[in-house]
Amino acid sequence: MNDQQGPRSVQFGVLENSTPVSGATSSIDLLRDVPLEVKAELGKAKRLVRDVLRLTVGTVIDLDKEAGAPVDLIVNDRMIARGEVVEIDGRYGVRITEIAR
């Protein structure tokens, strides 16, 4: 007699639609305070170590993007959005113009 069974399908509940019990914390609320690394990438360039060692104040490094091109917004090494660089009160930021799918 062969007791082996074939593959079975399994269904999992949807995390964001779960309703917390009164007074309990929802699953998504547990993640709200997790720190993430957020980077805005203007472009990339590859250089030899000798070229990096020669960098001085005022050196210009050519990037692989044109001036005015969208900036990639990267969270934990994954591109999640694109945007444009903005300046507000002497500080720089990124205005999101497109969410990555």
**What pLDDT shows up at residue 45?**
95
**Which residue range(s) make up the domain with 71?**
37-99
Q: What is the DSSP letter of 51?
A: H
Neighbour-count burial of 32, counting CB atoms closer than 10 A to its CB (0-12 exposed, 13-18 middle, 19+ buried) = exposed
Q: How many structural domains does the chain have?
A: 1
- Does residue 97 contact residue 84 with C-beta atoms inside 8 Å? yes
Of residues 74 and 27, more confidence is placed in 74
Q: Is residue 47 part of a domain?
A: yes
Computed on alpha carbons and rounded to an integer, the radius of gyration of the chain in Å comes to 23
Of residues 26 and 9, more confidence is placed in 26
Q: Is residue 14 part of a domain?
A: no
Reported as a pLDDT band with limits 50, 70 and 90, residue 49 is: very high
Backbone φ and ψ for 70, nearest 5 degrees, come out as: -60, 145
**What pLDDT shows up at residue 44?**
92
User: Quick one: tokens of 13?
Assistant: 């509940």
User: Quick one: tokens of 56?
Assistant: 């001085």
Q: Is residue 75 part of a domain?
A: yes
